[in-house]
């Protein structure tokens, strides 16, 4: 799949087109193409082959030809032409805080600055402050920005870090009486797997005091901007936090605006324009009378342009608006739909809690069942179990089942897909278990064909019902292994094997885009498992649900949203 690569080329086209001062709407058009292709659930090559490129929203004839040229020849004439006019390195310059297209262009035109290095030199020599539109503060800001860029979280951070941090800020601010209402918005509310910054919205009739409080919180490292309505700080963990304060009557409009995504909001505002309305963070306004016709609730904002409320997780302009117009939005799965967690580790292998403790936690979470799936023998580092030790575990589970009935603990295993594609035990030995999951835990650097075949071969075992963490990445620490997901999905479809949405905030694997593809193209079913190694880890289910909702999954797509009876029937099916 070459979507990322093609998208990247259109990002370059957009940036260079802007720098070359072409029609600014052209750059926006390129940007839109880039974003659409990046989020496309199918390989762009497939659409190209079928001549369906212009069916992508925002892709017209000219862009389609550019995509075709790139896929066939590896270059785009238009892009080469722009690069002759504008040095590519200016795209890097634009990323420096304080700099955008205009200022980058001025720096290049007047001082010939093309690179981050020459920028730093010129700023240190005080050459920048005298340029038109620049000044001493901007020059200093650039130097500081260059410094910050080194320290800043270069990658987006996992939602598993961002959400708890956001929640702790909310808890702090809640204690402060001028704060009437408070809500986390932005990409966290949309449950994106990785987060750029934290957005928080507050209702208060004393915004100044709330801002003072906010910038003096213990986790504030420095203040980026501070105003009456909006402030931004950098946390001690180098994560940017934006706070916005509005009046009570404007809460709905502000939540809608502040939740995004940007692309979704642009579409919403375009729709409003067609109805002679204007939407901003203060409400929906009739352009004739300038009167506000909605602002208090999010529902009213959507209603004013003839749409039902759209769940935040799918506000990405990836088809939700079209379906909303038709009134055909699916009812997405919810955390409360989950009836059990079927990927769990206990003290028997490398977990931190006993099976009984895991069961108690599951009852706390309102589940009807769990499956304990300790590692199998080949995973020595994780204290993987032999058949004999599994038999002991089974006995303990049977005892606990008598104690906890009607709650049920299923006896499972997470098998290892070995480097040659075999798994730890034979199908005959695997009859011991209620449910077998299998995943790759070693040989992750093998080449694509080999890894893909290993997973496909693992699915040939009749007992294997699900593939755990299909891509194997750990956010911020380990890349995905190189696997041809489409081949895996195809085989999973053929053999009726589940794919996992690993809900651990460290993994989120499959991610939203891949899970959506698995459902829409291959009709696969899923299990959402926390892969918890402690009772605390079981709380990560909410992240898995976030992925599932972003993938447009409904309750019926997820096996552990099945009732106990339905789940038993499912695992007994073969």
Question: Would you tell me which residues interact with DNA (CB under 7 A)?
Answer: 23, 25-26, 28-30, 33, 54, 57-64, 78, 97-104, 129, 132-139, 141, 186, 197, 199, 225-232, 240, 242, 262, 265-266, 269-270, 272-274, 276, 278-282
**Taking Cα atoms as reference points, which of 157, 15, 192 lies closest to residue 92?**
15
> 242: how many CB neighbours lie within 10 A of its CB?
19
CA neighbours within 13 Å on the CB side: how many for 138?
A: 18
- The residues with which 223 forms a beta bridge, in sequence order, are 233
Which of residues 317 and 341 has its CB atom nearest to DNA in the complex? 317
Check if the beta carbon of residue 103 is closer than 8 Å to that of residue 133.
Answer: yes
**Cβ contacts of residue 377 below 8 Å, gap of 6+?**
384, 385, 386, 387, 424
- d(C-alpha 304, C-alpha 316), whole Å: 20
Q: Shortest gap between Cβ of 512 and DNA (angstroms)?
A: 20
Check if the beta carbon of residue 62 is closer than 8 Å to that of residue 26.
Answer: no
CA distances from 133 to 118, 136, 232, 237 (A): 19, 10, 24, 33
Which of residues 272 and 559 has its CB atom nearest to DNA in the complex? 272
- d(C-alpha 280, C-alpha 352), whole Å: 49
Which of residues 219 and 224 has its CB atom nearest to DNA in the complex? 224
Check if the beta carbon of residue 178 is closer than 8 Å to that of residue 212.
Answer: no
Say whether 103 sits in a helix, a strand or coil.
helix
Q: Shortest gap between Cβ of 50 and DNA (angstroms)?
A: 17
Which of residues 86 and 435 has its CB atom nearest to DNA in the complex? 86
Check if the beta carbon of residue 25 is closer than 8 Å to that of residue 505.
Answer: no
Check if the beta carbon of residue 342 is closer than 8 Å to that of residue 373.
Answer: yes
Q: Shortest gap between Cβ of 97 and DNA (angstroms)?
A: 4
- d(C-alpha 522, C-alpha 510), whole Å: 14
Say whether 501 sits in a helix, a strand or coil.
strand
Which of residues 51 and 60 has its CB atom nearest to DNA in the complex? 60
Q: Shortest gap between Cβ of 197 and DNA (angstroms)?
A: 6
- d(C-alpha 479, C-alpha 374), whole Å: 24
Phi, psi of 463 (to 5 degrees): -75, -20
Which of residues 217 and 387 has its CB atom nearest to DNA in the complex? 217
Q: Shortest gap between Cβ of 281 and DNA (angstroms)?
A: 6
Q: Shortest gap between Cβ of 206 and DNA (angstroms)?
A: 14
Which of residues 280 and 297 has its CB atom nearest to DNA in the complex? 280
Check if the beta carbon of residue 209 is closer than 8 Å to that of residue 178.
Answer: yes
Check if the beta carbon of residue 347 is closer than 8 Å to that of residue 392.
Answer: no
The β-bridge relationship of strands 198-203 and 181-184 is antiparallel
Q: Which helix (H) or strand (E) holds 400?
A: helix 387-404
Which of residues 238 and 556 has its CB atom nearest to DNA in the complex? 238
Q: Shortest gap between Cβ of 365 and DNA (angstroms)?
A: 33
Q: Shortest gap between Cβ of 69 and DNA (angstroms)?
A: 12
Q: Shortest gap between Cβ of 16 and DNA (angstroms)?
A: 12
523: left (phi over 0), alpha (psi -120 to 50) or beta: left
Which of residues 225 and 363 has its CB atom nearest to DNA in the complex? 225
Which of residues 77 and 566 has its CB atom nearest to DNA in the complex? 77
Q: Which helix (H) or strand (E) holds 286?
A: strand 283-286
Which of residues 232 and 368 has its CB atom nearest to DNA in the complex? 232
Q: Shortest gap between Cβ of 101 and DNA (angstroms)?
A: 5
Q: Shortest gap between Cβ of 23 and DNA (angstroms)?
A: 5
């Amino acid at each position: 799949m070459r979507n990322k690569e093609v998208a990247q080329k259109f990002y370059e086209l957009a940036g260079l087109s802007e720098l070359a001062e072409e029609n600014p709407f052209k750059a926006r058009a390129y940007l839109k193409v880039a974003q659409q292709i990046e989020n496309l659930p199918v390989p762009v090559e497939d659409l190209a082959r079928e001549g369906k490129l212009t069916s992508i929203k925002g892709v017209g004839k000219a862009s389609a030809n550019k995509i075709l040229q790139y896929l066939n020849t590896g270059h785009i004439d238009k892009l080469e032409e722009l690069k002759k006019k504008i040095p590519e390195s200016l795209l890097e310059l634009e990323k420096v805080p304080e700099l955008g297209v205009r200022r980058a262009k001025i720096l290049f035109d007047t001082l010939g600055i093309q690179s981050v290095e020459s920028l730093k030199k010129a700023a240190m020599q005080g050459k920048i402050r005298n340029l038109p539109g620049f000044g001493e503060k901007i020059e200093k800001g650039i130097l500081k920005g260059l410094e910050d860029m080194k320290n800043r979280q270069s990658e987006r951070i996992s939602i598993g870090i961002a959400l708890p941090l956001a929640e702790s800020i909310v808890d702090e601010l809640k204690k402060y009486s001028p704060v009437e209402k408070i809500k986390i918005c932005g990409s966290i509310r949309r449950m994106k797997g990785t987060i750029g910054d934290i957005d928080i919205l507050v209702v208060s009739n004393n915004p100044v005091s709330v801002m003072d409080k906010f910038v003096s919180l213990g986790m504030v490292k420095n203040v980026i901007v501070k105003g009456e309505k909006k402030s931004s700080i950098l946390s001690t963990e180098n994560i940017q936090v934006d706070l916005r304060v509005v009046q009570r009557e404007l809460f709905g409009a502000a939540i809608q605006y502040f939740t995004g995504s940007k692309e979704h909001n642009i579409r919403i505002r375009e729709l409003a324009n067609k109805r002679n309305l204007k939407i901003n963070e203060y409400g929906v306004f009739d352009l004739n009378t300038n009167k506000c016709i909605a602002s208090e609730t999010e529902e009213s904002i959507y209603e004013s342009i003839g749409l039902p409320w759209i769940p935040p997780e799918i506000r990405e302009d990836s088809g939700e608006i079209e379906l909303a117009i038709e009134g055909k939005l699916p009812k997405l799965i919810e955390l409360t739909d989950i009836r059990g967690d079927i990927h769990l580790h206990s003290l028997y292998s490398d977990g931190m809690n006993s099976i009984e403790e895991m069961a108690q936690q599951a009852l706390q979470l309102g589940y009807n069942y769990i499956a304990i799936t300790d590692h199998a023998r080949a995973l020595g580092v994780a204290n993987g179990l032999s058949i004999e030790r599994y038999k002991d575990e089974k006995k303990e589970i049977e005892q606990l089942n008598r104690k906890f009935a009607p709650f049920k603990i299923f006896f499972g295993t997470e098998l290892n897909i070995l480097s040659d594609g075999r798994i730890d035990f034979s199908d005959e030995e695997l009859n011991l278990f209620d449910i077998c999951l299998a995943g790759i835990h070693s040989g992750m650097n093998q080449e694509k064909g080999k890894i893909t075949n290993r997973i496909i071969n693992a699915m040939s075992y009749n007992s294997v019902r699900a593939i755990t963490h299909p891509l194997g990445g750990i956010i911020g620490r380990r890349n995905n292994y190189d696997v041809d997901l489409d081949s895996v999905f195809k085989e999973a479809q053929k053999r009726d094997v589940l794919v996992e949405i690993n809900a651990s905030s460290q993994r989120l694997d499959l991610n939203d885009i891949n899970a959506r593809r698995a459902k829409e193209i291959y009709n696969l079913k899923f299990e959402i498992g926390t892969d918890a190694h402690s009772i605390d880890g079981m709380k990560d289910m909410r992240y898995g649900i976030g992925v599932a909702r972003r993938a447009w999954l409904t309750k019926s797509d997820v096996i552990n949203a099945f009732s106990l009876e339905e789940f038993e029937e499912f695992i007994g099916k073969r």
